[in-house]
Structure 1
Amino acid sequence: MNILRFGIVQYPKKLSMSEKVFNKYFQEINIDAVYEGININPSDFDFKIKDVLNNYYGLNITVPYKERIFKYLNAATDSAIFLSAINTIHKGIGYNTDWIGFYNSIINEDLNGDILVLGAGGAAKAILYGLYKIGIDRVKLINRTYERAIELKKLFNKKIKIEIEKYEKINTIINDVDIFINTTSLGMFNERLPVKLNEKLSLVYDVVYFHTPLQKKAESLGIKTINGKMMWYYQAVENLKIWNLFNEEKFLKIKL
């Protein structure tokens, strides 16, 4: 049997959690498969991506290519089209599993109360879509660039009511909400968010899967905290289901 090849199309080169975890998982289920980083310079993307698509059984796509990949695929799911972002590919079809990862990581939490979302990038899109699918009908949104927040509000106009607040008011607004969701990458390199948490918060969700200063502060205040590892975990489960390789018992044995 030929080896099954999987990979993540990315730039710049980095060792992703996917590369470490999926290779361990393939060993656990005893299949001849490999998951590797596929590093393509943006100037070479159009020349190399077709060969990659033809030679890999399953792929993940990360920035800066989640939008650029669309024109090379046969089809895309409705959620991927709405979010203008593909992060998983199988048999020429593009999927967005980011929102599913978030949805499944938070679906069993108590989401009653006001929700504040920080950020207006790709992760914010996926999280707002997940909240919409859960049934949340309104959120407050803050982003450093006000215009990007406006664009996001327009995108979700018929799905969720978004109340945009100014960035400089974040520490006033956070006192009046119950749930805070950070969708930015701040904290990945131990940066501190300019946010003063308070004990009234019932949940802090941080998409960064390192143990960030935000998460540490929330935990010290006794606030329930969820980090990006859970979102990644459920996204990975969805990837394996799309690739027809998911075994729950085996995957649970893999340490993140």
Structure 2
Amino acid sequence: MKGRHLVLSLVLLVSGFLIAFSYQHTKSESRVIQLSDQEWEKDYYYRQQLISLEDKNKELRGELEGNRQIIQQIEKQLGQQEEAIGNYVEQKKELQMLTGELPIKGKGMQVTLRDANYIPSEENANQYIVHERHIHLIVNELFSAGAKAISINGQRLFKDSFISCVGPVISVDGFQYSAPFVVSAIGNQDALDASLNLTNGVVDILVGDNIEVAIEKLNTIEMNARVN
């Protein structure tokens, strides 16, 4: 009996210890941590600061997006301006080629005028050779048909150029050339050809004046710029 009492006592002792330990542990864990007023104020202050920063970040993101759109608009406008400037440069270059400030090259027509091979009478020889009026006739017709540039025997004509007849030769801006006279024109080949070959037009008039006329289409005609 004493042995049983001893075992029972030990069991009760251990059980009581475990119950007491469990109670104390549960009590310590369930204890509510009390914050002081100062700690609450700090916590509230930091929360307000966080909210303020989030609002500021949102505002800054909005400004950033607005600035991005403005930058995109500016870039678009700059691109359009660059394209416009490029167009102006091309137009200026084209005008300079037309006025003779720059060389010019392109497709066009070539008209060759020759004196008549057969002159029946020396007294009427003047009626069988090319005169300045024939050159003027061709040049004016080509310009009227839209020629961008014209040259005579390789010498380019400008807005102030002059053509005159000096005996059997033609003078272009003071430079003399003898027959055959080659008038070259850069422009729309079909328009130039149609204008020259109109019925009772330039070619018919020249042939009627006993002038030999040869017309040729050329894919490349080059003319130099004015030499100052």
Bin the TM-score by the shorter chain: under 0.3
Relative contact order higher in (CA < 8 Å, ≥ 6 apart)? 2
Larger helix fraction of residues:
2
* TM-score of the superposed pair, with normalisation by structure 2: 0.21
* TM-score of the superposed pair, with normalisation by structure 1: 0.20
* Structure (1 or 2) with the larger CA radius of gyration: 2
